[in-house]
Structure 1
Amino acid sequence: MPRIPRRPGRPLSARHWLLLLLPLGLAMVMWQAAQVAREQALQNLVREAENELRLSAAGLESHLTRHDYLPQLLASREMVKRFLTNRGHQDPMPLNVLLDQFRAIANVSDVYLLDRYGTTLAASNWHLDNTFIGHNYAFRSYYQDAIAGGRGRFFGLGTQSLERGYYFSAPVWLDTTTPDARPEGVMVIKVLLDAVEASWAEQDAVLMVADQDNIIFMASHPALRMTALYPLSEQEHQALLATRRYADEPLSPSGLEVFERREDGSRLVRFTQGPLGEGSHLGLARHMEAFGWNMHILKPLDAVLKAQWFAALLAGGLYGVVILAGGVGWQRLRLRRERELFAERERQTLAHARDELERNVQLRTRDLTETNRRLSGEIEERRRAEESLRQTQDELIQAAKLAVLGQLAAGINHELNQPLAAIRAYAENARLFLERQRAEAADANLAQIVELTERMAEISAQLRQFSRKSGSTLTAVSVQACFDYALRLYQARLRSDDVRVERHWREEAVWVHADLVRLEQVLVNLIGNALQAMAETPEPRLILAIETPPGQVRISVTDTGPGIPEAQLSRIFEPFYTTKSPGSGLGLGLSISSRIVSDLGGRIEATNPPGGGACFTLTLPRDERSDAPCPAPTEEQRSHA
């Protein structure tokens, strides 16, 4: 800024002071506006980060805890106990195959059995080069907790695969009667975390999870994984290496630096090194009590900087308009004073025009402010309406599933009454044998009671699996497995109605890109409708078929019932439209099935085959894993078929 020349000894005039204060006022206005905009933008960013952090933490906890029951369930299997009892005299291959089948069904990484000394006896990866069989894991905390009689949890890198995983363990008891009995083995489940990290990559934020030692073992950005949140001392680094939790990873510092702490608990951070070192972020942390972890989210401050610049430029523009208006007024005042004696009427006209202009500016400003307020309210109302609609749709799908469970109640009641009657008979016989001191016969009756209770548990597990809510991630789903699950739910009704089931597909597994729970619900609805349609058919047949055109999978469910009237084919997928008698249904099953298939990227069609009956065809995108081998069915699955 050029210096204003003035004569020595003379004070600055009003004009000189005005020229000095104008740039200073502009800088003050722009700085103040930028500060206000920055604070508002940071508050909005904090609320957005809190919501994303809460949802991500809930998703991670749900992904891990849903497998908590599986080790205890496998530990109670009779085959596992027999193998530990006759260890060294029994072929481990059947147990390896069983563990691999459970791994595929539960969608976990590995399942393996340790003896009481921590050595792996059987594993689902028995056929791989890096198999766990023969390796000792007594140094792992999940083995130590389980062999002590409890249930273990552990996170770390696998010593063989070097993959990050979360481990669940449970003891295998052979003798539970004596007070000093100890477990004879440990059943372990390993769950990978790559799928959760892949879902984080879609967010406009950096998500990372650190353990109690501040080691970042999960992160949406690959460069942050296996780094220390803050620099470790040599003693801390050696202690971590001794535990073998993270194998031989260097655990170098992440470079995170906090340069501002805010009153709401958030922090402004930046990275001094690495690919994230070019920008600054807003950081929030959330403690996960169930695991002892801390989840962090870093939101980029680009939006805050843009808001600051926009507010500063807007304030500067308004300041310029005000100064310009003041200058124009001052010039007008000078002209008015000079021409006051000669143009009184012109002066009054100019003053009136100026006042009118100011009123119009105020009215327009007020109108624009009110319009912006109404627009913001409408946007917020629409967002709430969309959230309510999504929640209502999800609840409607869950209600439809519970309605199907109500239809299955009669069959499930029959399936449970038979084991209950048998349990009572075996219990009465056991009492008589005990009175007659025939312990072996009483033990045989008690063993039958245990098998019957396991059968009842399988039936109730099928109902719990069907009633659970689905997730939002699409994965590779086996169509044959979904058909088998749906048929198991209707096994009692298939037997009572003497329905012949025909399966038309190849032996190898066919995979689609879908959600397992929602695809199972669609097939259960279609099979249930087919069984209702064939209630009066003399020789009912249920025809299930799978075809694989290029890039797609076509799934069809055909019955031999009366079919669908041609006039109703175009309306059967409409909500609350039903061809059943009053009281037999709400007309929501096919409508919900149509919406589910559409969400999965496919389509559903209804036709009347030439031979009679009705045919519903689903067309879904085929998954790249279509050439993967289909796991062999277990004994329980064959019995349901």
Structure 2
Amino acid sequence: MKYLLLTGVLLGGLILTAWQGARFARDQAIDSLIHLAGNDLQLSQANLTGYLTRHDYLPHLLATRERVRDFLAQPAGQRDVAALNRLFDRTRERAGVYDVYLLDRGGTAIAASNWRRPDTFLGHNYAFRGYYRQAINGRGGRFHALGTQSGTRGYYFSAPVWDANHTPDTPPDGVMVIKVGLDAIEREWQRLDAQLLVTDINGIVFMASDPALRLTALQPMSDGARRGLRTTRRYADEPLPDLGLEVTESLTNGARLIRLQGREYLSLSRPMARFNWNLRILKSLTPVVRAQWLGATVAGGAWMLLALGAAIGWQRKRIRRERERFAERERRTLARTRDELERHVAERTEALLDSNRHLSQEIEERKRAEESLRQTRDELLQTARLAVLGQLAASINHELNQPLTAIRAYADNARVLLERDRPDDAAANLVQIVELIERMAAISAQLRQFSRQSSETLTHVAVQECFDYALRLFHARLVEAGTIVETDFDARHLWVRADPVRLEQVLVNLIGNALQAMQESSPPRLELSAIQEGERIILSVADNGTGLTEEGLSHLFEPFYTTRPAGKGLGLGLSISQRIVSDLGGRLEARNREEGGALFLIYLPAASGDPSYA
């Protein structure tokens, strides 16, 4: 029960305080809004008055010009209407008004600045307009209305036009009229954070910053007032609908709170006796509503802070006792936790040390494995080269046997010739023996070069020289098989960045495979080419052999895959060749030719820079 009573007191005090705060904030916000609206209204009234009256002199000035007076003095058939129209148009443009026109004594427009427009005033009678009646009676006229021809709103200034020799009793010969547009001043109003309205004595909104409010009635109009407006055609045939403005509260200084089109506004007005108007400003009450909510929130928050302060004071004593008991329990718990944490840290540290030792061992094992893999790869490359040498053994043996047989014959002949005391002929045989030995040495040098270990250092390599070396290595087989070798090399030397030993191995593998595939071809034709396309060099090896099967194309670069009989190949040549080309930054492709046979393409990046400095 005690807690229910305390809760009721708190809620009641909160509601009362919030209501008082909202009421005070509303009064302050409305006073501030009235002051702001009054300043905006005074400034807007001064701007509107200045905007309209700055053109007050213009009809009087034009009415005194000799050209206008002479124009009216001339018979209607002799008047230069076009010249006066142009004069009025220039005047309109310089003065910044909407229209300039001249009425004769009967009220008909006889010259106008808008003579070229479809809605020109020429030929129309405006005797019903107030500005005409005021000026034809000998005084300046003012009038606001909706144009009967153009349909645009404007403020009209008029002045009587007399002959230079007129007497005080002479009626005016015509009426000079200017029309001032209102759109510019309304566009300036739209920059304000408010609605501005200009109403006439009938409560008709003639000007407004909101286009939707123009030519409407603030209050319902009587039938008599509507008939009077139709007589002067001030607003043409506009229906002038009722806006239904509702006053909800009257405030000080003539201010009111109104409801217009479902929205709440603060309304403040000032009379403009010079124009027989009333200028009204409408300020949205949104800031007032926000101020009310803010005031209620601040007041309620202050009440809650007071209540909270009292509650805190009451709770502090209770909390202090609880805190002392809690601190004792916390000290005991903290001691147990600290001991447990130290034990866990020690265990975790030992586990991390074990993990680091295992990781170090794994790193060392991985390094050894990588080194072993590198050595195995190099050994495999060397094995593949030696396998190619094994395949070439028969032809190499044939090339070496021929000069050995010839050397033996030349040596026997030389011995016989020396026995017969013919040293000159014996010397000629010895020269032939030396030439044959040099030939054998060249063959041996080629074998040593192909079987040497790679340096794994990339240098500038001439593509044509690699092809020449591979062809020399297969010279005996090419001659024996009667192979036609066709080359298509670029006229200039083509250079790539590569390891010459590995690139030569790739070409030897491809040419050896081509010769193997052309054993049944008659005649066998080997086509070699090297061209440059942009930043890459394309090497190709083509044959007219049996070509590649579908299965062969799908497994061509797999290790140990071969189509040769058992014991005739390891199935590593193309797999190693693809690996070598990939390490050099290129790619190796294979396809069948339309005319028959296989085509192997090597794409390598062209070497940059001058090879002479490589």
Q: What's the TM-score, normalizing by structure 2?
A: 0.51
The residue type paired with residue 300 of structure 1 is: S
Residues 204 and 218, structure 2, Cα contact 8 Å, conserved in 1: yes
The C-alpha deviation readout for 1:533-585, integer Å capped at 9, x for no partner, is: xxxxxxxxxxxxxxxxxxxxxxxxxxxxxxxxxxxxxxxxxxxxxxxxxxxxx
Choose the corresponding residue for 2:22, options 25, 30, 34. 34
The C-alpha deviation readout for 1:190-225, integer Å capped at 9, x for no partner, is: 001000001111111111100111100100001100
Q: 1:177 offset after TM fit, Å?
A: 4.7
Choose the corresponding residue for 1:315, options 284, 299, 303. 299
The residue type paired with residue 291 of structure 1 is: F
Matched, 1:190 2:174: no
Choose the corresponding residue for 2:119, options 103, 123, 130. 130
Structure 2: how far apart are the matches of 1:177 and 1:192? 33
Structure 2: how far apart are the matches of 1:153 and 1:51? 28
Q: Which residue of 1 aligns with 2:246?
A: 257
Structure 2: how far apart are the matches of 1:308 and 1:197? 32
Q: Which residue of 2 aligns with 1:10?
A: none
Structure 1: how far apart are the matches of 2:136 and 2:154? 20
Choose the corresponding residue for 1:147, options 129, 136, 139. 136
Choose the corresponding residue for 1:51, options 35, 39, 44. 39
Q: 1:239 offset after TM fit, Å?
A: 2.4
Listed as ranges, the matches of 1:350-429 within 5 Å are none
Local SS of the residue matching 1:246: coil
Listed as ranges, the matches of 1:325-364 within 5 Å are 325-331=309-315
Q: Which residue of 1 aligns with 2:540?
A: none
Q: Which residue of 1 aligns with 2:109?
A: 120
The C-alpha deviation readout for 1:62-99, integer Å capped at 9, x for no partner, is: 01000000101101111111111113222211111111
Local SS of the residue matching 2:69: helix
Choose the corresponding residue for 2:12, options 2, 24, 45. 24
Q: Which residue of 1 aligns with 2:268?
A: 284
Local SS of the residue matching 1:264: helix
Q: Which residue of 1 aligns with 2:231?
A: 242
Local SS of the residue matching 2:234: coil
Q: 1:298 offset after TM fit, Å?
A: 0.8
Structure 2: how far apart are the matches of 1:180 and 1:318? 81
Local SS of the residue matching 2:16: helix
Q: 1:176 offset after TM fit, Å?
A: 4.8
Matched, 1:64 2:42: no
Q: Which residue of 2 aligns with 1:110?
A: 99
Residues 102 and 176, structure 2, Cα contact 8 Å, conserved in 1: yes
1:181/1:235 Cα in 2 relative to 1: closer, same or farther (>3 Å)?
A: closer
Choose the corresponding residue for 2:194, options 196, 205, 212. 205
Listed as ranges, the matches of 1:66-85 within 5 Å are 66-85=54-73
Matched, 1:293 2:282: no
Listed as ranges, the matches of 1:439-454 within 5 Å are none
Q: Which residue of 2 aligns with 1:156?
A: 145
The C-alpha deviation readout for 1:428-481, integer Å capped at 9, x for no partner, is: xxxxxxxxxxxxxxxxxxxxxxxxxxxxxxxxxxxxxxxxxxxxxxxxxxxxxx
1:179/1:236 Cα in 2 relative to 1: closer, same or farther (>3 Å)?
A: closer
Q: 1:127 offset after TM fit, Å?
A: 1.2
Structure 2: how far apart are the matches of 1:180 and 1:316? 79
Structure 2: how far apart are the matches of 1:175 and 1:108? 27
Structure 1: how far apart are the matches of 2:80 and 2:165? 26
Structure 2: how far apart are the matches of 1:247 and 1:280? 31
The residue type paired with residue 319 of structure 1 is: W
Q: 1:243 offset after TM fit, Å?
A: 2.1
Residues 103 and 175, structure 2, Cα contact 8 Å, conserved in 1: yes
Local SS of the residue matching 1:228: coil
1:82/1:335 Cα in 2 relative to 1: closer, same or farther (>3 Å)?
A: closer
Structure 2: how far apart are the matches of 1:197 and 1:171? 30
Residues 175 and 181, structure 1, Cα contact 8 Å, conserved in 2: no
The C-alpha deviation readout for 1:561-611, integer Å capped at 9, x for no partner, is: xxxxxxxxxxxxxxxxxxxxxxxxxxxxxxxxxxxxxxxxxxxxxxxxxxx
Structure 2: how far apart are the matches of 1:114 and 1:197? 29
Structure 1: how far apart are the matches of 2:171 and 2:8? 88
Residues 130 and 232, structure 2, Cα contact 8 Å, conserved in 1: no
238-247 vs 222-231, greater mean Cα deviation: 238-247
Q: 1:16 offset after TM fit, Å?
A: 4.2
The residue type paired with residue 154 of structure 2 is: G
The residue type paired with residue 101 of structure 1 is: R
Q: Which residue of 2 aligns with 1:218?
A: 207
Local SS of the residue matching 2:91: helix
Q: 1:291 offset after TM fit, Å?
A: 0.7
Q: Which residue of 2 aligns with 1:592?
A: none
Local SS of the residue matching 1:159: coil
Structure 1: how far apart are the matches of 2:265 and 2:128? 40
Structure 2: how far apart are the matches of 1:236 and 1:203? 33
1:182/1:264 Cα in 2 relative to 1: closer, same or farther (>3 Å)?
A: closer
Q: 1:293 offset after TM fit, Å?
A: 0.7
Q: 1:327 offset after TM fit, Å?
A: 2.1
Consecutive unaligned residues in structure 2, runs of 5 or more = 326-614
Residues 196 and 280, structure 2, Cα contact 8 Å, conserved in 1: yes
The residue type paired with residue 281 of structure 1 is: Y
- Quote the sequence identity (%): 53
Structure 1: how far apart are the matches of 2:230 and 2:6? 69
Local SS of the residue matching 2:254: coil
Q: 1:333 offset after TM fit, Å?
A: 6.7
Residues 132 and 160, structure 1, Cα contact 8 Å, conserved in 2: yes
Q: 1:17 offset after TM fit, Å?
A: 3.3
Residues 141 and 152, structure 1, Cα contact 8 Å, conserved in 2: yes
Structure 1: how far apart are the matches of 2:73 and 2:253? 59
Listed as ranges, the matches of 1:578-617 within 5 Å are none
The residue type paired with residue 313 of structure 1 is: T
The residue type paired with residue 250 of structure 1 is: P
Listed as ranges, the matches of 1:534-553 within 5 Å are none
Q: 1:328 offset after TM fit, Å?
A: 2.8
Q: 1:126 offset after TM fit, Å?
A: 1.0
Residues 168 and 188, structure 1, Cα contact 8 Å, conserved in 2: yes
1:85/1:335 Cα in 2 relative to 1: closer, same or farther (>3 Å)?
A: closer
1:72/1:179 Cα in 2 relative to 1: closer, same or farther (>3 Å)?
A: closer
1:92/1:25 Cα in 2 relative to 1: closer, same or farther (>3 Å)?
A: same
Query: Greater Rg, structure 1 or structure 2?
Result: 2
- Give RMSD over aligned pairs: 2.1
Local SS of the residue matching 2:247: strand
Residues 92 and 98, structure 2, Cα contact 8 Å, conserved in 1: yes
Local SS of the residue matching 2:253: coil
Residues 116 and 183, structure 1, Cα contact 8 Å, conserved in 2: yes
1:179/1:240 Cα in 2 relative to 1: closer, same or farther (>3 Å)?
A: closer
The C-alpha deviation readout for 1:150-198, integer Å capped at 9, x for no partner, is: 0000000111001100000000111555342111000000001000001
Structure 2: how far apart are the matches of 1:64 and 1:75? 19
Q: Which residue of 2 aligns with 1:568?
A: none
